[in-house]
Amino acid sequence: MSDTTVEIHIISDSTGDTASRVARAVQAQFSTSPVSIVRHPRVTTGTGLATVFAKLSGQARVAVFFTLIDRDLRRQATELCERHGLPSCDLLGAPLEALQHASGDEAELVPGRPVALEIDYFKRVAAMEFAVKHDDGLSGEGLEEADIVVVGVSRTGKTPLSMYLGYLGYKTANTPLVPGVEPPAQLFRIDRSKIVGLTIDPERLQRIRGRRLRAMGGRARNNYADLAKILEELDDCTSVFRKLGCPVIDVSNLAVEESALRVINLVEERSRAEGDGDGLS
């Protein structure tokens, strides 16, 4: 591990968004190394390319990612990286060649051509709007329209999980289980295969709620972070899960991405088991 920041320099003939997404995905796998991303957009000539590499000359701990459509520019970028001893990755070269071989057509190689919005994009936007509208819904409104319904006590991460599932394209509603308040009747009428319960280690929940209380200046019901009350609350929650007949995942040590994957797998498996061969829509 080093405290010195690694710089990923992105060279693109457009905005560099594609390479930036790849860089962020790669960066996430190096949690102990500080990484910064530097963009060099709209590089469309050999002169522009030379200007970028003049700035990189002699630098250490630098990697170059480039998305350049023009073959000559890609070749020049590769040669300049080799000349300066910089590790590099041509993010478009191999994919372009693979698609050319598969299609039998030649790529048109038009720099900066906008990428068409996919149907999936609009589905994800609608799902995210649904998740916002049906966050912490005590009334049960809209549960029948959801692809996924997550249920749990306060501070089990229902909201971030719902938003992330929405980002993945699943219309997700979340329902809080509140002491002294009956769960919405609609929760017991919908398709049970799309319901997943969330639980958490009681002491971890106590710490989370304690931090929440302090952030609010202590303005909450007095027993919100009391361990005995939390244990009682989680017991009541387990009883509701039994009545619902839903699977339960423990989110104590799970990142939201892993929780989402487990939820999706559970709902799809149950949906298939009940005869819906298509799984989630």
* 93-113 pLDDT, tens digit each: 999 999 999 999 988 888 877
pLDDT tens figures, 215-271: 877 665 668 899 999 999 999 999 999 999 999 999 999 989 999 999 999 999 988
Query: 160 vs 52, 135, 178, CA distance in Å?
Result: 40, 10, 18
Q: Is the pLDDT of residue 279 over 80?
A: no
How far apart, in whole angstroms, are the C-alpha atoms of residue 245 and residue 239?
A: 10
DSSP code of residue 241? H
Confidence of residue 280 (pLDDT cuts 50, 70, 90): low
How far apart, in whole angstroms, are the C-alpha atoms of residue 163 and residue 184?
A: 21
Three-state SS at 89? strand
Strand partners, 90: 66
Query: 53 vs 18, 59, 93, 151, 172, CA distance in Å?
Result: 20, 10, 20, 53, 47
pLDDT tens figures, 35-63: 899 999 999 999 999 999 999 988 889 99
Give all domains of the chain, ordered by start, each with its CATH number: 6-103 (3.40.50), 119-273 (3.40.50)
How far apart, in whole angstroms, are the C-alpha atoms of residue 74 and residue 77?
A: 5
Instruction: Record the tokens describing residue 117, joined without a space.
Output: 């919005």
How many CB atoms are located within 10 Å of the residue 234 CB? Answer: 19
Write the CB contacts of 219 (distance below 8 Å, at least 6 apart in sequence): none
